[in-house]
Amino acid sequence: MKRLLFVTGLILALGCTPRHETALTETQKNQVLTEAQQATAAFIDHIEKNDVEGIKASFLNSDHVKLILNDQSFTYTELIKMADEFLPKLEGQEMKIKSESFQVLSPKHFIHFWNGYNAIHYKDGNNESYPDFFMTYVYQKDDDTWKIIHAHESWKANHPQDMENEMPPTESLNEE
């Protein structure tokens, strides 16, 4: 009998739970899109100017946050540690957009897709360039501020003669 009541309650709870949010109006979508464009432009500006504190502040302070860089994954804590170690070595970065798009998910969430050119300029004079750099960022509105809650950055490998000392080697999943 208890099992029957549990199953009945579960079915009732699932049946009464909305499966999706109410669709946004065009006005709501446009508002989020305007804010999204401002938030992502500010983040790219932080990257280009190597504003370490601005970059770190762009992410939600939570270990639920993930950053994936090609074959590595970082929690928020690991991301901050990496930023504190790596970013002071940079003069800045140059980002040139080839294409970008936004997907508004809700009044508090959007996805930013970005493809373009990324050049990294080190203080020691070395440079790295990635002509086909891809970024996907998921933002969440937190206390009226847009914060990154998930990030995935990747790049196409350069030709072997161009890759010398630029990126660590990665193993192919197809290698036996």
Determine, yes or no, domain membership for 174.
Answer: no
Determine, yes or no, domain membership for 112.
Answer: yes
| Nearest one of 25, 35, 18, 19 to 109, comparing CA atoms | 35
Round to whole Å and give the CA distance between 176 and 168: 20
Determine, yes or no, domain membership for 85.
Answer: yes
Which stretches of the chain score pLDDT less than 70?
1-21, 157-176
Residue 37, helix vs strand vs coil: helix
Determine, yes or no, domain membership for 4.
Answer: no
Determine, yes or no, domain membership for 84.
Answer: yes
pTM beyond cutoff 0.85? no
The tens digit of pLDDT for each residue in 1-34 reads 545 444 444 454 445 445 565 789 999 999 999 9
For residue 5, the one-letter residue type is L
Round to whole Å and give the CA distance between 53 and 65: 17
Determine, yes or no, domain membership for 109.
Answer: yes
- Structural domains counted in the chain: 1
Are the CB atoms for 98 and 117 separated by under 8 Å?
yes
| Nearest one of 169, 163, 162 to 71, comparing CA atoms | 169
pLDDT of residue 81: 94
pLDDT of residue 170: 44
Order of strands across the sheet that contains 109-122: 72-75, 66-69, 145-155, 127-142, 109-122, 90-106
CATH of the domain at 103: 3.10.450.50
Per the document, the length of the chain is 176
Residues 6+ apart with CB under 8 A from 29: 104
The tens digit of pLDDT for each residue in 44-57 reads 999 999 999 999 99
Structure tokens at 34: 């305007």
Determine, yes or no, domain membership for 52.
Answer: yes
Structure tokens at 65: 């946050």
What is the domain range of residue 88? 26-157
Determine, yes or no, domain membership for 20.
Answer: no
